[in-house]
Structure 1
Amino acid sequence: LALTGIADGDSFRNALRTAFADPETAEMYGRAAGIVDETFYLTTNSDVAKAATDPVRHWARYGLREGRQPRRGLNVGSAEQLVDELVAAAEPLFDGIPDFPGFPLNHDAEARRQTSLAAIRGGLGARGNKLVVVAHLYYRDLVPEILEHLANIPEGFDLVVTMPDWGNRQIADLVRAAYPDALLYPAVNRGRDIGPFLDVLPAVLEHGYDAILHLQTKAGYFHAGRLRRDLGELWRGEALDALLGSPERVAAILGAFRTDPAVHEVGPQPHYLALAKYPYHDGGELGESLLGATPAEGFFAGTMFWARPDILRPLVEPGTLTLTSFAEETGANDGALAHLVERLFGHAALADGGVILGAPVDPAEPLITDFQPLAVTIHEHMEAALAAKHAARKTRAREALAW
């Protein structure tokens, strides 16, 4: 229940079906929820033990479909039977769970959280800027890249930096050196970049900003069980170039917000994914409860985008989503509450007749007013873009040699 952030039986069942259909998410659930007893699995599956294979990974990729028992007392022959068992076990809890279950911090952590949020509320709007940037700076080595791109914003802006609540001194020093008035929020690791963003959003909404920019230090992503930092670097670079690639690009984005009230969100064009391909793992129930039955087409993967702040208000109305809506971080690739909310940003942008614009990676190109979600998976796009980048590098090398 903590992993999915879901509080009713039907939605929980749908979320589990989606999770166990994907081997990587099934592996995460197998570990984080303790579904697989590793010792038991190796003892009862000599072929896995002999191959020295990770038992949880084997179960998620093969054992679940083969009907192998993950632990003593959980004898299921298929993913659907496993879902039935988990729903039955959770059913007695549903009546006592609120619509937005919370995972409170301990007393000291909550006190620090409230102190930080009070400072942010007091600092925002003091300089009369009409733009606000909320940047989640988790990886210290990537901070200079973010700060360099922020220099392309051609007017004053307020900056809120969310960062880890430990080991953050160097991050804070780098930010303060470039932006002395930046407001810092050392946040516990809940909901990745999204949990802290939702925590500061109510304060942002008090000040009537024309636009909000959300960024993060995306370092990599997992595919087929391994971390791909090369693709993470490419993903981050594409997003930053699309959103902040030049002063002219930023001016075009701001002009779109200021001249057309229907423009609700602008994001990196190649990162706009189809909900048909990457669906809500709760069947869309959270989105409908917060935003109504607005038809949603897609969302910007990676949660880096410009938005009209008011469209995000329904997500953080009192009693809805905050940092403490998220359980402790598990490292899930998909299927957790943070991934559900990631999809909600695109849903929110289309409410009330809103329009989403695509920003091409090349900042010299115009914004795209009528575009469709990516036709391939994000991984296929990244692999193709990486191959094109390598090919271009080889071409330049040959041209230099010929010259």
Structure 2
Amino acid sequence: MKLLVHLHVYYHDQVGYFAEKLRNISGCEWSLFVTMSTPDAGSESVLRSVKPDVVFIRTANVGYDIWPFISVMKSVRLEDYDLVMKLHTKGPSSIAIHHVRLDGYGWRNALTEALLKDEGRFHRILSTFRDRLSTGLLCSDIFLMLPLPWTDEDSLALDKELSRIGLDVRDRHFCVGTMFIARTSCYRFLQEADITEDMFPKEQISHSGGTMAHVYERILSMAPSAYGFRARGLVTRPAVSAWLFTDRSFSALFKNIFSINREGYDRHKVLRVAGLKFRLK
């Protein structure tokens, strides 16, 4: 299998961390594409020590790490690669997700280590793609979640853009934080659809605000389902993974017993009772 790795560098002081993680890639042919808004000789030297033939691309930090990834996908022959891994530097933050509290660089580290904790982890990922042909995308199970129906980037804006580019997604789970490994064939639409740099914000907004960057954060993870593949979560912390499995199993069971959600392009309310579905006004 041949892998394309895209790393977007905004925080140059994190390059050493990612260089060490990239050293865990082995057992396959791979190429490294690094996008950055400002060139930095130190960063380039560190990354060349890992991958001498690394390709550096200068790009504006438009749409955070989203447009840089799309621009790389548009610039390569996707058929030359089987898999693509998306990585990016990420500032410290505090987040609570699935009852897991992550402070400092915890969010970045959990996303990255799910993919590149060590060589064994990476080799198991390759085996998953070889042996489980239905798998289209893998990321940390902590951050694989469904959209929140009350935010614009999770509902109206998302539905509108999916319709515009003609992407029929069947599963709306997405990776919160957008670090994943996926089959490159799932991103043909990035080359075929009218997706341009000027669609994405140049200003940096730390949290969701309905921008096109946030919409495509979701679309990039949902895309495999449009091509008949599944997104799967990688065990990041065993205790948390066990809790997530139990919680999701019971949530799926009780959803059909009783739930009220918004569905469809017009986000109409739907009541489910004992397996029956009723549209609410």
Task: State the partner residue of 2:33.
Answer: 160
2:197 equivalent among 306, 323, 331: 323
1:160: how far off? 0.3
Task: State the partner residue of 2:41.
Answer: 169
Matches within 5 A, 1:57-96: none
Aligned partners of 1:163 and 1:186 also within 8 Å: yes
Equivalenced residues, count:
234
Question: How many angstroms apart in 1 are the aligned matches of 2:137 and 2:71?
Answer: 20
1:353 equivalent among 218, 228, 232: 228
Higher strand share: 2
Matches within 5 A, 1:89-108: none
**Is 2:124 the partner of 1:252?**
yes
Task: State the partner residue of 1:89.
Answer: none
Matches within 5 A, 1:135-146: 135-146=7-18
Question: How many angstroms apart in 1 are the aligned matches of 2:16 and 2:2?
Answer: 24
Sequence identity (%): 28
Task: State the partner residue of 1:180.
Answer: 52
Aligned partners of 1:134 and 1:160 also within 8 Å: yes
Q: Deviations over 1:15-34 (max 9, x none)?
A: xxxxxxxxxxxxxxxxxxxx
1:221–1:183 CA distance, 2 compared to 1 (3 A)? same
Question: How many angstroms apart in 1 are the aligned matches of 2:144 and 2:122?
Answer: 19
Higher helix share: 1
Aligned partners of 1:222 and 1:333 also within 8 Å: no
Aligned partners of 1:275 and 1:297 also within 8 Å: yes
1:283: how far off? 4.8
1:194: how far off? 0.8
1:288: how far off? 2.9
**Is 2:186 the partner of 1:314?**
no
1:287–1:170 CA distance, 2 compared to 1 (3 A)? same
1:283–1:175 CA distance, 2 compared to 1 (3 A)? closer
Question: How many angstroms apart in 2 are the aligned matches of 1:231 and 1:291?
Answer: 38
Structure 2 gap ranges (5+)? 96-101, 252-281
Aligned partners of 2:93 and 2:104 also within 8 Å: yes
Question: How many angstroms apart in 1 are the aligned matches of 2:18 and 2:206?
Answer: 25
Question: How many angstroms apart in 2 are the aligned matches of 1:153 and 1:240?
Answer: 13
Task: State the partner residue of 2:264.
Answer: none
Q: Which amino acid aligns with 2:127?
A: G
Task: State the partner residue of 1:131.
Answer: 3
Q: Which amino acid aligns with 1:233?
A: Y
Q: Which amino acid aligns with 2:215?
A: L
Q: Which amino acid aligns with 1:322?
A: T
**Is 2:145 the partner of 1:273?**
yes
Aligned partners of 1:198 and 1:323 also within 8 Å: no
Question: How many angstroms apart in 2 are the aligned matches of 1:140 and 1:281?
Answer: 36
1:201–1:238 CA distance, 2 compared to 1 (3 A)? same
Superposed CA RMSD in Å reads 2.7
Matches within 5 A, 1:349-388: 349-362=224-237, 372=248
With 167-176 and 153-162 compared, the bigger mean Cα shift is at 167-176
Aligned partners of 1:161 and 1:185 also within 8 Å: yes
Q: Secondary structure at the match of 1:314?
A: helix
Q: Secondary structure at the match of 1:157?
A: strand
- TM-score normalized with structure 2 length: 0.74
Q: Which amino acid aligns with 1:149?
A: K
Question: How many angstroms apart in 1 are the aligned matches of 2:67 and 2:89?
Answer: 15
Question: How many angstroms apart in 1 are the aligned matches of 2:158 and 2:201?
Answer: 20
Q: Which amino acid aligns with 1:313?
A: R
Aligned partners of 1:287 and 1:347 also within 8 Å: no
1:350: how far off? 1.2
1:291: how far off? 4.4
Q: Secondary structure at the match of 2:34?
A: strand
1:262: how far off? 1.7
Aligned partners of 1:160 and 1:182 also within 8 Å: yes
Greater C-alpha Rg: 1
Task: State the partner residue of 1:287.
Answer: 162
Q: Which amino acid aligns with 2:91?
A: A
Q: Which amino acid aligns with 2:234?
A: A
Q: Deviations over 1:145-182 (max 9, x none)?
A: 11111111123310000112x25232222212332210
**Is 2:212 the partner of 1:337?**
yes
Q: Deviations over 1:66-114 (max 9, x none)?
A: xxxxxxxxxxxxxxxxxxxxxxxxxxxxxxxxxxxxxxxxxxxxxxxxx
Task: State the partner residue of 2:81.
Answer: 209
1:218–1:330 CA distance, 2 compared to 1 (3 A)? closer
2:68 equivalent among 196, 199, 204: 196
Q: Secondary structure at the match of 1:184?
A: strand
1:222–1:231 CA distance, 2 compared to 1 (3 A)? closer
Q: Which amino acid aligns with 1:297?
A: R
Q: Which amino acid aligns with 1:347?
A: M
Q: Which amino acid aligns with 1:152?
A: N
Aligned partners of 1:210 and 1:258 also within 8 Å: no
Q: Secondary structure at the match of 2:136?
A: strand
